[in-house]
A and B are shown apart, each in its own frame.
Chain A
Amino acid sequence: NAGVTQTPKFQVLKTGQSMTLQCAQDMNHEYMSWYRQDPGMGLRLIHYSVGAGITDQGEVPNGYNVSRSTTEDFPLRLLSAAPSQTSVYFCASSYSGGAPETQYFGPGTRLLVL
């Protein structure tokens, strides 16, 4: 199993550009999520999904869109990048049962918006 994979590893954007951060998992996990990590602020939840076709907002959703057409993939879209979106982005996945499950994290995407 590859686990959770993310592409690209590093990206530089200009303000106003759009891009999609890719996330895929091969563990058949129902739950997938996106976090951003900023110095001194830990990880903050952007969006999450409990299954194909179902998404919801987390703590900091503004400026980001998501969709979940398959169980395996959960892309994060930045429609018009802003310098405030410079961050490290992590995708995570887990089973979605009645009790909390361990989340498995990808290696991260480092994004710089100029």
Chain B
Amino acid sequence: AQSVTQPDIHITVSEGASLELRCNYSYGATPYLFWYVQSPGQGLQLLLKYFSGDTLVQGIKGFEAEFKRSQSSFNLRKPSVHWSDAAEYFCAVVGDTGNQFYFGTGTSLTVIP
């Protein structure tokens, strides 16, 4: 069965510091992986996705993620965090049906000035 683990429930970083949010997935075949961001009181917005090809994918707002099959990971990174990046971040993997998403429990990011 498909599943996603986000080991960090909450992360605090200083503005301008680098950021890495961890995501580990469980899936038997080639995974389709997504990162979404949720600002307080809002719905989810797509940051980036990996389907195939280059294992380093670029997304919106300066985010990138690297797919590592050997580690079953799809970690999200940003070189310099802005105060507006404070939000909750969700990693998701798509299941066998091609549409059924499995989400991690999320990582809440706090940015301190």
Residue positions of A touching B, CB distance < 8 A: 4, 31, 33, 35, 40-45, 48, 50, 58, 90, 92, 94, 96-108
The answer on a CB contact under 8 Å between B49 and A102 is yes
- Docked Cα-Cα span, A45 to B102, in Å, equals 8
Q: Determine, out of B11-19, B39-47, B68-76, B79-87, the stretch whose residues face the partner at the interface.
A: B39-47
- Docked Cα-Cα span, A97 to B100, in Å, equals 13
Closest chain-B Cβ to A68's Cβ sits at a distance in Å of 14
Interface contact tally, CB-CB below 8 A: 60
Looking at chain B, what size class is its interface with the partner chain?
20 to 34
Closest chain-A Cβ to B35's Cβ sits at a distance in Å of 11
Q: Looking across the interface, which residue of chain B has its beta carbon closest to that of A49?
A: B99
Can you name 16 A-B pairs with beta carbons within 8 Å? A33-B99, A42-B104, A44-B103, A58-B100, A92-B44, A92-B101, A96-B98, A96-B99, A97-B98, A100-B32, A100-B51, A102-B34, A102-B46, A102-B49, A105-B36, A105-B45
Contacts of B99 in A (CB 8 A): 31, 33, 48, 50, 94, 96, 100-101
Residue positions of B touching A, CB distance < 8 A: 6, 9, 32, 34, 36, 42-46, 49, 51, 90, 94, 98-106
Contacts of A92 in B (CB 8 A): 44, 101
- Docked Cα-Cα span, A104 to B46, in Å, equals 8
The answer on a CB contact under 8 Å between A45 and B101 is yes
Q: Looking across the interface, which residue of chain A has its beta carbon closest to that of B6?
A: A42
The answer on a CB contact under 8 Å between B94 and A43 is no
The answer on a CB contact under 8 Å between B100 and A105 is no
In the complex with contacts A31-B99, A41-B105, A42-B106, A105-B90 CB distance below 8 A: no
The answer on a CB contact under 8 Å between A107 and B42 is yes
Q: Which of B44, B98, B106 is close to A90, meaning CB atoms less than 8 Å apart?
A: B44
The 7 A-B pairs with the shortest beta carbon distances in the complex, nearest first, are A100-B94, A105-B43, A42-B105, A100-B32, A105-B44, A43-B103, A42-B103
